Structure 1
Amino acid sequence: MPLDAWIALATVIAVFVLMGTTRLGADIILLGGVILLFVLGVIDAQQALAGFSSSGLFTVAFMYVLVASIRETGGIDLIIRYVLGRPSSEWRASWRLLLPVSFMSAFVNNTPVVATYIPAVIGWSRRLRMQPHRFLMPLSFASILGGTCSLLGTSTNLVVHGLLSDRYPELTLRLFDIAWVGVPVTLVGLVYLLCLGNRLLPSRRSADQAFENPREFTIEMAVAAGGPLVDRTVEEAGLRHLGGLFLVEIERDGNVVSVVGPGEKLKGGDRLIFAGTRDAAVELQQVRGLQPSSLGESSLSKDFRERRLVEAVVSDQCQFIGQRIREGHFRTLYGAAVLAVCRNGERVAGNLGQIRLQPADVLLLEARPPFIERHRQSRDFLLVSQINGQARPVHEKAWLAWSILAGVVLLASLGVMSMLKAAMLGAALSMLSGCCTVGAAKRGLDTRVLLTIAASFGLGAALESSGAAAAIAGQALGLAGGDAYLLLIGCYVLVALLTELVTNNAAAVIAFPVVTTAAESLGVSVMPFAIAVMFAASASFLTPIGYQTNLMVYGPGGYRFGDFLRVGGLLDLLVGATALLLIPRFWPF
């Protein structure tokens, strides 16, 4: 291989290693790789920026606006309300959840579907007296499976279709062409989840149940200096006999009073550690003279009546990962006070300010209402939900938002318009009709995903133009012995493994030129290989980090890494076997 090919290959390997081992965002790492290749002259400016003009990228962006309109009008909430109901058994509850989720995920990006369903499923399972973790992982897996039924189901499908159309204009796919494989794959996956998947999940408390247990949920408050509680005893302050709360200890000037008697006098600045229920935490905020434990100066001390309790799931992109809450000045940056941290379904014991945050930690925060809108689409948090009430969506326009999406699907599936034009028209109608405001559309755009897609094009172009893709394809052909079916299996396995370690979009875009070059060298159609890339990139069931919806349910469900291996391992094999059996039948070599 020439020198440029070695540089391109080394850069791609370094990018994958960094994405799998560091907390840096995939978008930052990929952009860094493209910049390096451009500076070294491996790719030119046109190749480096090609991803930012991709039709697939813009189709994904406009679809985000359409999804935002459904979220803003409460369209998914209405379906949840009328579909879930009150089933009499866990099996009935599972199919009433998984079937509509997989169906919706074929038309709507699965991330907002899962984000909307998580709080609803937690409350729903509590009413049914069932464990939420029995439903949350299947919820994520069902959304992934449903996304394989149409090109609109995932951003990866749209991006791979864009690559295919640009490179091979004569090879086109209609909206539901991949459903010939996607529907059987989804049915096989759903049958597995309904009949066997739940049985493989161990009994374990979810984050929500840990918060409900008075011995598992810690609330930390401080005695306001100069307030009415200073120099009063615990008994006089009314903190001795609290319903659902127990005063565990007092931290004062670096010392801990671990056995708090009724005659213990309170001092200004005392930090009080309570154990209690989440609902009791709401009442504790109303005690005059108590305030959230100070972890940094903030304007949060104002507008007491406007404060709300909020749950937030920490993203792997949060800038506080690995830092102590106190040292990072969490409260100063976000205008929110951390009241509790839950990890793997268990309360994290000890001083809240000394806890080092980890991905998928569930935080109980006290914040003002703007926090929710400001951080609902933030890369720092995967899921933000208000505990005691949410803003009312514009439900009267939900039917209009769904009608616009149905129109987009109809126009694209009948070939009246390309998917890009249909999505563009739908996004414009959503904003003109008031289903989605400009602000909501901006918040709905996942810039991290869009930058990841755009930057991936540059790395893919480097592999192709430098000759690295051809060299790798030659090696793959040698291993496959010139057999097209063995080559298809190898390509699927490669992409499926990559997508467990890095973002699915990056795995698909970077692998695409290698896979298609191998098919061209063998003299067979590239179509089955392009379809295999779509399905393999979506087959992310083994780890919580391989797909965003998996990470979203990881914390609230109280799961452990091994739970995904246990349930997702067999599902991965079933999906792969079904896809590899059917793809050559509908797209022959």
Structure 2
Amino acid sequence: MTVAGWFVLSIIIFCLITLITTSVSVDIVLFSGLAIIFVSGILPADQALSGFSNEGMLTVGALYIVAAGLKETGAIQFMVQRVMGNARTVKKAQLRVMGPVMVMSAFLNNTPIVASFIPAMERWSRISQIPVSKILIPLSYAAILGGTTTLIGTSTNLIINGLMIQEASTQTLGIFEPAYIGIPCAIAGFLYLLVFGDKLLPERGSSMDTFQDPREYTIEMIIPKSSPLAEQTIEDAGLRNLPGLFLIEIQRNGRAIPAVGPYEHLKEDDRLIFTGIVDSIIDLQQISGLVPATNQVFKLNAPRNERTMIEAVVSRSNPLIGQTIKEGNFRYRYDAVVLAVSRNGERIDEKIGDITLKSGDVLLLEALPNFVDKYRNSSDYFLVSPIEDSSPITYNKAWIAALAVVVMVGLAASGILSMLQAAIVAGGLLLVTKSFRYSSALESVDWRVLIAIASALGLGSALEYTGAAEHLATNLFAFAGDNPTLALFLTYLATWLLTEMITNNAAAVLIFPIALSLAQSLGVSFMPFAMVMIIAASSSFSTPIGYQTNLMVYGPGGYKFTDFLKIGLPLNLIIAAVAVSLIPYIWNF
């Protein structure tokens, strides 16, 4: 290996050690490593910056926008509500999320699945009080394992199949041929995560961490006509034991039902009185089948998905002090609607319109984002503060988001467009139909993840460009001798190690010719080697940098680098044992 190769390898090892031993974010570490290699002059600019123009990285960016559309329209929340149900334990939650995700990722690209589920799972975690760190790694791993079960489940499978088609001495794969080994591996991984996931995964990002604000609001919600919550019990509707939120009473046909039990059935036109902190109020607004009791919300000019929630503290000079919200024509005066009022911790029994405003009242408003700029320095309020990620969901355009995803998957799966092109079409459809705001689309992109992916790809290019990757793989295969089973294991090991260090697709492309020549020199069939590469190239469980879905859950889950090593390394060994032991019996040497 050349001096340049040793230098690149030492930088990558230094990056890995830094990620393991410090809390520096993965994007800073990987970008710094790439910058050192580039500045040293070892890697030309086109190779160093290749990750920033990589189609896979750009696809992830486009998919963040599609995922934002699913979130803003409520389509993904609706799906998650149906999938997760009333799961109240970590094992039940993991069981409910992993099964459907595995099935979906067998036929759909796993990146949009994970991108769509992440924000919905974060919100579900807050409501269920199950730490999101217990869910997101299983979500990523389930998508990875599901992708190995069909030819179209992941791009790596298609790349290996394409390389096989180019080789006259090998045969093409059937669409379900990877399932013979992919399904056993997926089952083994599923059982491992279900049994050990709760113990090995950290407890971080707990929903209760956010519920420290002592300020409580009283808010009324209505069960409208044809609501899916009608005739459900309080518990089945998910309205019991909401963190930071308490259902005080139900008003029905002019009578109050206090101390509402979990098995009380909801009826159309029920008025539900809640008290709770602002984060819980926001989550309440996202539940399908509940609408604010004040009809003023529906009289504002702008669509609800273009509005946001704002907290405003009434000042002594506010002209509406001493008047009720209704008498003061609050909506006309401020182009905003009061959803709830907080007053020194006391419960306010009046309906929103009948509340008499006092100095110091904290109002929870629904308004356009420009309300903040307009009244931030106004004498009417002591303080005006926007609430992050609080745009109400109307669900009336959820079908457009679902259609956009179907169109995207159809165009990509049929080969009419690439995944990047299909994602751009889907995102464009959502923006043109005004399913969500353009500003929300820009804010939805996790730029740190994209920098980390691009930097990881650049480091992978450095390994290939200097010949370090090929040198490592070739020397590893030298241990195989004349034993095809040992050669098969070493093929898995080399592919897996390179996947963790560079990317799954690059690892498959690099190992393919070496494994092919090894099989030919041993005089055995190449099919077992091809199948073991399919499994190994997708077995990126021990680090967050080898597979893009791992990087996507890294930040939202509050994970450390060692969390992936702790739960992922045993999973890697299990999958390796299943693959290497079964493949020679399914595809004979």
TM-score (norm 1): 0.56
Aligned residues between the structures: 423
Structure 1 residue 393 displacement after superposition: 1.9
| Among 340, 344, 355, the residue aligned to 1:287 | 344
Q: Pick closer, same or farther for the CA change 1:80–1:509 going to 2, 3 Å.
A: closer
Match for 1:45: what amino acid? A
Runs of at least 5 residues in structure 2 that lack an aligned partner in the other structure? 216-243, 245-274, 281-339, 346-359, 367-375, 377-382, 521-525
| Among 516, 519, 522, the residue aligned to 2:518 | 522
Decide whether the 8 Å contact of 2:539 with 2:572 is kept in 1: no
1:305 equivalent in structure 2:
363
Q: Could you tell me how far apart the structure 2 residues matched to 1:18 and 1:417 are?
A: 40
2:422 equivalent in structure 1:
422
Decide whether the 8 Å contact of 2:492 with 2:536 is kept in 1: yes
2:457 equivalent in structure 1:
457
Decide whether the 8 Å contact of 1:405 with 1:426 is kept in 2: yes
Structure 1 residue 70 displacement after superposition: 0.9
> SS of the counterpart of 1:23?
coil
2:138 equivalent in structure 1:
141
1:531 equivalent in structure 2:
534
Q: Pick closer, same or farther for the CA change 1:173–1:11 going to 2, 3 Å.
A: farther
Q: Pick closer, same or farther for the CA change 1:561–1:422 going to 2, 3 Å.
A: closer
Decide whether the 8 Å contact of 1:412 with 1:418 is kept in 2: yes
Q: Could you tell me how far apart the structure 1 residues matched to 2:423 and 2:278 are?
A: 46
| Among 102, 123, 129, the residue aligned to 2:127 | 123
Decide whether the 8 Å contact of 1:491 with 1:532 is kept in 2: no
CA deviation profile, 1:50-76 (whole Å, cap 9, x unmatched): 223322223222222222211111111
> SS of the counterpart of 1:372?
coil
> SS of the counterpart of 2:363?
helix
> SS of the counterpart of 1:305?
strand
Decide whether the 8 Å contact of 1:110 with 1:147 is kept in 2: no
CA deviation profile, 1:84-126 (whole Å, cap 9, x unmatched): 44579997776444433444566434254143124324534x6
| 487-496 or 402-411, larger mean C-alpha shift | 487-496
Decide whether the 8 Å contact of 2:27 with 2:455 is kept in 1: yes
Structure 1 residue 518 displacement after superposition: 4.0
Match for 2:409: what amino acid? V
Decide whether the 8 Å contact of 1:101 with 1:139 is kept in 2: no
Decide whether the 8 Å contact of 2:52 with 2:454 is kept in 1: yes
Q: Could you tell me how far apart the structure 2 residues matched to 1:281 and 1:4 are?
A: 52
| 411-420 or 513-522, larger mean C-alpha shift | 513-522
> SS of the counterpart of 1:415?
coil
Structure 1 residue 140 displacement after superposition: 3.6
Decide whether the 8 Å contact of 2:70 with 2:402 is kept in 1: yes
1:336-351 aligned at under 5 Å gives the runs none
Q: Pick closer, same or farther for the CA change 1:5–1:506 going to 2, 3 Å.
A: closer
> SS of the counterpart of 1:537?
coil
Runs of at least 5 residues in structure 1 that lack an aligned partner in the other structure? 127-131, 221-243, 245-276, 289-301, 309-334, 336-366, 374-389
Q: Pick closer, same or farther for the CA change 1:479–1:423 going to 2, 3 Å.
A: same
> SS of the counterpart of 1:395?
coil
% of aligned pairs identical?
Answer: 26
> SS of the counterpart of 2:59?
helix
Q: Could you tell me how far apart the structure 2 residues matched to 1:513 and 1:136 are?
A: 33
Q: Could you tell me how far apart the structure 2 residues matched to 1:88 and 1:29 are?
A: 37
Q: Pick closer, same or farther for the CA change 1:120–1:150 going to 2, 3 Å.
A: same
1:234-383 aligned at under 5 Å gives the runs 286-287=343-344, 304-305=362-363, 370-373=386-389
Structure 1 residue 77 displacement after superposition: 0.9
Match for 2:21: what amino acid? T
Structure 1 residue 47 displacement after superposition: 1.6
Decide whether the 8 Å contact of 1:105 with 1:113 is kept in 2: no
1:9-28 aligned at under 5 Å gives the runs 9-28=9-28
> SS of the counterpart of 1:416?
coil
Q: Pick closer, same or farther for the CA change 1:77–1:113 going to 2, 3 Å.
A: same
Decide whether the 8 Å contact of 2:408 with 2:426 is kept in 1: yes
CA deviation profile, 1:170-220 (whole Å, cap 9, x unmatched): 4999998866654443333334455x34785899999456889xxxx7979
Structure 1 residue 78 displacement after superposition: 0.7
Decide whether the 8 Å contact of 2:404 with 2:430 is kept in 1: yes
Q: Could you tell me how far apart the structure 1 residues matched to 2:93 and 2:466 are?
A: 53
Decide whether the 8 Å contact of 2:508 with 2:537 is kept in 1: no
Q: Pick closer, same or farther for the CA change 1:397–1:465 going to 2, 3 Å.
A: same
Match for 2:34: what amino acid? V
Larger radius of gyration: 2
> Does residue 67 of the first structure (1) align with residue 67 of the second (2)?
yes
CA deviation profile, 1:226-259 (whole Å, cap 9, x unmatched): xxxxxxxxxxxxxxxxxx9xxxxxxxxxxxxxxx
CA deviation profile, 1:307-354 (whole Å, cap 9, x unmatched): 99xxxxxxxxxxxxxxxxxxxxxxxxxx9xxxxxxxxxxxxxxxxxxx
1:56 equivalent in structure 2:
56
> Does residue 412 of the first structure (1) align with residue 419 of the second (2)?
no
2:114 equivalent in structure 1:
110
Decide whether the 8 Å contact of 1:492 with 1:533 is kept in 2: yes
Match for 1:535: what amino acid? S
Decide whether the 8 Å contact of 1:152 with 1:175 is kept in 2: no
Q: Could you tell me how far apart the structure 2 residues matched to 1:14 and 1:465 are?
A: 19
Structure 1 residue 303 displacement after superposition: 9.9
CA deviation profile, 1:472-496 (whole Å, cap 9, x unmatched): 1222112333656535534545676
Q: Could you tell me how far apart the structure 2 residues matched to 1:146 and 1:109 are?
A: 8
Match for 1:18: what amino acid? T
2:468 equivalent in structure 1:
468
RMSD (CA atoms): 5.2
Match for 2:119: what amino acid? A
1:477 equivalent in structure 2:
477
Decide whether the 8 Å contact of 2:495 with 2:508 is kept in 1: no
